[in-house]
Amino acid sequence: MSLIPTPVGDYNPDWAIAFHEGTVKHIYFVAETTGTMSTLGIKGIEKAKIDCATRFFDMLTARHNGEVVYKQVDGFDKLMQLVST
């Protein structure tokens, strides 16, 4: 995945996954593994980059009829839980 430019530096999500139709809920899923589900645990530039990425992926989601999904997760298990439902 390419870097996403933000006002505070380039952002690179931890996971970018494309699925075949019919196997999971979403076709394209991008996730940031933060180690915590609380935004209080994310500070400074990292939080600003994630906030910018959230807005960026919200635009992509709107343009692609919900087929692009961006979520913050605290680990691989949570990621798999989200894409399986």
Q: By the 8 A CB rule, do 61 and 69 touch?
A: yes
pTM for this entry: 0.65
Using CA atoms, how far residue 77 sits from 8, 20, 35, 73, 80, in Å, is: 30, 20, 12, 9, 5
Token code pair at residue 54: 């959230």
Residues forming beta bridges with residue 11, ordered by sequence position: 4
pLDDT tens for each residue of 4-59: 888 888 888 877 777 766 655 555 667 777 665 555 566 788 888 888 888 988 99
Strand partners for 69:
29
